[in-house]
Amino acid sequence: MQSVAGDPREGRIARLRAGLLSAGLDALLISSRANTRYLTGFSGSSSLLVVSQAATVLITDFRYRAQGRVEAGGVADLEIEGTSLWSRLWTVLPRLAGVSSVGFESQHMLHVDAQRVVESGARWQWRPTANLVESLRQQKDAGELECIKAAVAIAELALERTVPEIAAGRTELEVAARLEMWLRELGSEAHPFETIIASGERSALPHAHASRRELQDGDLIIVDFGAVSGGYCSDITRTFVLGRANAAQREAYDIVREANATASAAVWAGMRGRDADAIARDYIERHGLGAEFGHSLGHGIGLEVHEAPRLAKTIDAPLMVGAVVTIEPGVYRDGWGGIRIEDDVWIGPDGPVVLTAFPRQLMELV
Ligand code: ZN
Ligand code: ZN
């Protein structure tokens, strides 16, 4: 096992080890792909990772033999298993000195695997854990922030290229296809979630999948999508009007835009998730549309498109410096349509920095 000076993964594993000590655990079994990638760099889809105070062992299968070595070889001992990762775990664990209490990730482990753990006998005390690695992932380091910025840049350029192709008679699916083509062409490694193109009355559905509906003059069109760069996601929404906007569209749009701008400028480290949410919610309520803003204000982005922290009514946890969050107020009126504007914001030590630069004024596609 070689170590690289200044390797951010070493610091992450060290912080996790400190967390294990305070939780009274000798080791943690990690099955979440994003957590595994965060700690070791391994991006394969099949692995078990064990971190104790003295060891970091990554068990994966034959398909990832070379990839595992390249991606994780610097920080983890690799075990390549031909049949079952779990059988290999039962040979790896007894070799780890001083390990008796072992945590597992209760939010990521399948029930069938939890049963294996229970049936492994009394040799280890297994304890369910939550958020031990996720809480570390909230604070992005400089390299992670660069990846997110690159994912934002790809997404914005792809949207810029797609906008001129949005026209009456095209279906939502066709617009999604053009946008996804540009995302790939510009270097996005994956689509972090299913692209949302929701037009006309369908824009009132906050998470509508693109459909065969043809765009018509006067439609509100919500475009919600993202790119992935270096494993990190961006998540952006813009709402357009096909043709000229009417007064009601304009009025609602201005309220959402102002709510977005106000919240984006005010999300500081230390603020509770519920207070961040309230900034946009209060603004929208004061303007009479409170009942039409039915989802939370935003969420963290990183290796996953939805990760900690959450900016929502129920969240008491304070926002951490270094988090990257979305600010995405929206209003949705059945039978009329919807409007959402979503930006990605880095909560820096000196305050919020909006990473997205795509114009936020109402764009009429004529
Ligand atoms: Zn989104
Ligand atoms: Zn989002």
**HEC profile of the chain:** CCCCCCCHHHHHHHHHHHHHHHHCCCEEEECCHHHHHHHHCCCCCCEEEEEECCCEEEEEEHHHHHHHHHHHCCCCEEEEECCCHHHHHHHHHHHCCCCCEEEEECCCCCHHHHHHHHHCCCCCEEEEECCCCHHHHCCCCHHHHHHHHHHHHHHHHHHHHHHHHCCCCCEHHHHHHHHHHHHHHCCCCCCCCCCEEEEHHHHHCCCCCCCCCECCCCCEEEEEECCEECCEECCEEEEEEECCCCHHHHHHHHHHHHHHHHHHCCCCCCCEHHHHHHHHHHHHHHCCCHHHCCCCCEEECCCCCCEEEEECCCCCCECCCCCEEEECCEEEECCCEEEECEEEEEEECCEEEECCCCCCCCEEEC
CB–CB of 245/365 below 8 Å?
A: no
61 alpha carbon – ligand 1 mean position (Å): 34
Please tell me the distance between residue 47's alpha carbon and the centre of ligand 1 in angstroms.
Answer: 29
Q: Let me know whether 164 and 100 are in one domain.
A: no
If we measure between CA atoms, which residue out of 208, 222, 210, 225 comes closest to residue 151? 225
Ligand nearest to the CA of 224: 1
Instruction: Report how far ligand 2's centroid is from the alpha carbon of 216 (Å).
Output: 26
Omega before 309 within 30 of 0, i.e. cis: yes
Ion ligand 2, residues whose Cβ is below 5 A away: 235, 326
- Given 137, 168, 200, the domain boundary residue is 137
Tokens for 319?
Answer: 């926002």
**Tens-digit pLDDT string for the chain (366 aa):** 444 558 999 999 999 999 999 999 999 999 999 999 999 999 999 999 999 999 999 999 999 999 999 999 999 999 999 999 999 999 999 999 899 999 999 999 999 999 999 888 778 999 999 999 999 999 999 999 999 999 999 999 999 999 999 999 999 999 999 999 999 999 999 999 999 999 999 999 988 999 999 999 999 999 999 999 999 999 999 999 999 999 999 999 999 999 999 999 999 999 999 999 999 999 999 999 999 999 999 999 999 999 999 999 999 999 999 999 999 999 999 999 999 999 999 999 999 999 999 999 999 999
Strand partners, 51: 28, 56
* 2: in domain: no
Residues 98, 147, single domain; the answer is: no
Q: Give the per-residue pLDDT at 122.
A: 79
CA of 139 to the centre of ligand 1 (A): 20
- Are 175 and 303 contained in the same domain? yes
Rounded CA-CA distance 269/321 in Å is 5
Ligand nearest to the CA of 299: 2
* 88 CA from centroid of ligand 2 (Å): 38
Tell whether 179 is covered by a domain: yes
Clarify whether residues 260 and 229 are in a common domain: yes
Residue 146: which CATH number?
Answer: 3.90.230.10
pLDDT score of 6: 84
Cα(280) to centroid(ligand 2), Å: 15
CA of 328 to the centre of ligand 2 (A): 7
For the CA of 326, the nearest ligand: 2
259 shares its domain with 348: yes
- The answer for residues whose C-beta is within 8 angstroms of residue 159's C-beta and 6 or more apart is 179, 182, 223, 225, 236, 238, 358
Q: How confident is the model at residue 123, as a pLDDT? A: 87
Measured in whole angstroms, the distance separating CA 236 from the mean position of its chain's CA atoms is 12
3 assigned to some structural domain: no
Are residues 319 and 280 both part of a single domain?
Answer: yes
Domain extent for 302:
142-365
Q: Residue for token digits 């996005």?
A: 188
Domain edge (last residue) among 137, 169, 190: 137
Same domain, 311 and 187: yes
Are residues 76 and 125 both part of a single domain? Answer: yes
- Same domain, yes or no: 58 and 158: no
Residues 117 and 22 in one domain: yes
Phi and psi for 79 in degrees, rounded to 5? -125, 115
Return the closest-CA partner of residue 311 out of 363, 260, 351. Answer: 260
Global pTM value: 0.95
For the chain, the domain total comes to 2
Do 265 and 311 lie in one domain? The reply is: yes
**Domain boundary at 102, 137, 172, which?**
137
Tell me, in angstroms, the distance from the centre of ligand 1 to residue 212's CA: 21
- Please say whether the beta carbons of 302 and 234 come within 8 A: no
Is residue 175 located within the same domain as residue 80? no
**What is the predicted pLDDT for the residue at 5?**
58
Q: How far does the centroid of ligand 2 lie from the alpha carbon of residue 312, in Å?
A: 12
The reply to whether 1 falls in a domain is: no
pLDDT at 3: 47
